[in-house]
Amino acid sequence: MNTTYLRIELARVGRDLVSMFFIAVMPAFFFIIFGASMEYGAYPIGNGNVSMHTMISMAAFGAVVATTGVGGMAAVERMQGWGRQLGLTPMSDGAYVRVKTTVAFTISLIPIGLVYLIGAFTGASAPGWVWAASAAIVMLGAAVFSLYGLIVGLLFRSEAAVGAASGALVILAFLGNIFFPLSGVMLTIAKFTPLYGIIGLARYPLTDGALVATEGVGGSDPLWMLLVNSVAWTVIFAVGAVLLVRRGRGRQ
């Protein structure tokens, strides 16, 4: 990996104060509304309580939005011909994708840290290992979605690609069981969507795979199913990103 290019990318993203504000504040605001301020937050669930469950969900959503936005910035770079410019350097397609993923992973630490900090002061409760394990899974899962943002950014020729990718995340978040517990046919469909496996893995240390329903706990997801979902979508995003980066270096 080109460490110089990585350093430049981190500095460039960090200077965008407006985007950084929304990356940090939006998931924290959602957690306060949907988790910290709700009276049922203290209800026990798995190895913790409902507030902890909501905290993990909002941290994951915020981290995914952050990494998708960073990856989607490739749309602007492509429009400016930056892909072909990098093609003149020794940097490989895989190295370019790794740099983008690493930058997104680093930025995702901001919403995760802020949401977990608020959760610690507003009643989220679980053993220490649950906090550590869920945070680590959220970070790794969010890095995958930098590839998703990169794919969308490389498919479109305008800055609207970032907005389109982030907008689609809201739909994927609903299908990922983040905002509202699904059931029936919708739950069956949701299990094949990109966010479902990552969110399920992040919650697994807390719930052991149990699904939260409107009436309490309804059913469970086996660990192998969540892993298969996550690995499959990671491979799809990674292959797609490398192929599109390679195509972007060609004559257009």
CA 159 to each of CA 15, 52, 65: distance values in angstroms, whole numbers, following the listed order: 18, 36, 16
Q: How many domains does the chain have?
A: 1
Pick the closest to residue 154 from 61, 53, 210, 86 (CA basis).
86
Q: Which domain holds residue 82?
A: 3-248
Residue 75 confidence (pLDDT): 60
Residue 225 confidence (pLDDT): 94
Long-range contacts of 80-87 (CB under 8 A, 24+ apart): 83/245, 83/248, 83/249, 84/248, 84/249, 84/250, 86/249, 87/249
pLDDT averaged per 10 residues, the chain (length 252): 79 80 82 74 84 90 86 68 71 74 84 91 90 93 84 75 79 86 85 92 91 67 93 91 71 48
Residue 252 confidence (pLDDT): 47
Euclidean distance between CA atoms 145 and 194, whole angstroms = 9
**Predicted structure pTM score:** 0.85
Contacts of 178 (CB under 8 A, 6+ apart): 57, 58, 60, 61, 195, 199
Residue 242 confidence (pLDDT): 79
